[in-house]
Amino acid sequence: MGGWEIEKIRFTVPNTAYIDKGDMTSKAGFASPVMEMLSDRMDAVRKEWEAEGLFVAPGKVGWSWANLGNGKLTATPGEVMAHLRDSNLYRYMVAGHGAGGSMTGFTDATGETVDLAPGDLSGLLPHRINELRAYGCESDIGSWSRHVAVGGQAVTAEGLITAINRLNCFVSRNGEAKPAMVPKPAVASEPIPNPARDALISKGLGAIKRMEEEIRRAKSEAKNDEELKRAVQEIAKRYTLETKRLTEQYTDPKQHDRLIR
């Protein structure tokens, strides 16, 4: 008596996650509360995904106050592309500097700097993934969610990440059912004069410059990593209060004259 012939079908279920560290240096070469937060987030996400049973591939996510700008601890463009092309990719996170919707500052062997834009993923990802986290300034401008499956989520940063908003600047968007529509280009118009805004930008940049100078001095005077950390935190705290005061003056029209002076 003959039996049923069963055709064997092989398939795989994506179960791999990657966490890539982008550029985390600063113009002054010092650590900051923002970079510390990004490092903590990378560690927390790794533990969260591993607890769910995912394979989180080893990555260059090392970080400390002393070796913040160490290029050896930053993913290269080739590594990022290899991770995104992995047919087993289920979740992906990248953290570092960002601008205009892209993650910036990935350096290849020749020293050339390469950015990672949402549009680049179209030619890299083998499929839409369950979760995508792009932790960098202005990453919410990019259409990252179009690369996430329905039911998944894309987590990005809204605007600039600062010492003030670093813990509550992230937004989550669901995966899109269809590709995002390309917005029509904005019609250029003459900018409206805004003395208060100009004063806010000028004084804010001045405060940042003074803060960088103080931290450079603290870096040269600190006897050890812990002493440097305390000094930077104290300096950042003072300038956070100054930035908050400037922002309050800008928000309140009655204080614009004081801001402009």
Degrees (nearest 5) of the Cα angle 227, 34, 116? 135
**Cα distance between residue 245 and residue 164, in whole Å:** 12
Cα 96–Cα 103–Cα 158 angle in degrees, nearest 5: 80
> pLDDT, tens digit, for every residue of 176-228?
766 555 666 766 666 677 887 888 788 878 888 888 888 888 888 888 888 88
The CA-to-CA distance between both ends of the chain, in Å, stands at 99
Beta strands across the sheet bearing 98-99: 98-99, 102-107, 113-116
Asked whether 18 and 89 are in contact (CB, 8 A), the reply is yes
Instruction: Please state, as a whole number, how many other Cβ atoms lie within 10 Å of the Cβ of residue 89.
Output: 22
The number of residues in the chain equals 261
Q: Please state the rounded mean pLDDT for residues 41-52.
A: 91
* pLDDT value of position 31: 54
Kindly list the distances between the CA atom of residue 182 and the CA atoms of 140, 146, 185, 186, 190, in Å, as whole numbers in the listed order: 15, 12, 9, 12, 24
Decide if 35 contacts 68 (C-beta within 8 A).
yes
Sorted by sequence, the CB contacts under 8 Å of residue 187 that are 6+ apart come out as none
Per-residue pLDDT, 71: 44
- Helical residues (DSSP H) of 122-224, grouped into ranges: 195-221
∠ CA 218-43-212 to the nearest 5 degrees?
20
Per-domain residue ranges for the chain?
16-174, 195-260
Q: Which residue has the higher pLDDT, 70 or 143?
A: 143
pLDDT tens per residue across span 78-95: 888 999 999 999 999 998
Model pTM score:
0.61
pLDDT value at 236 more than 60: yes
d(CA 98, CA 140): 10
**How confident is the prediction for the chain on average, in pLDDT?**
81
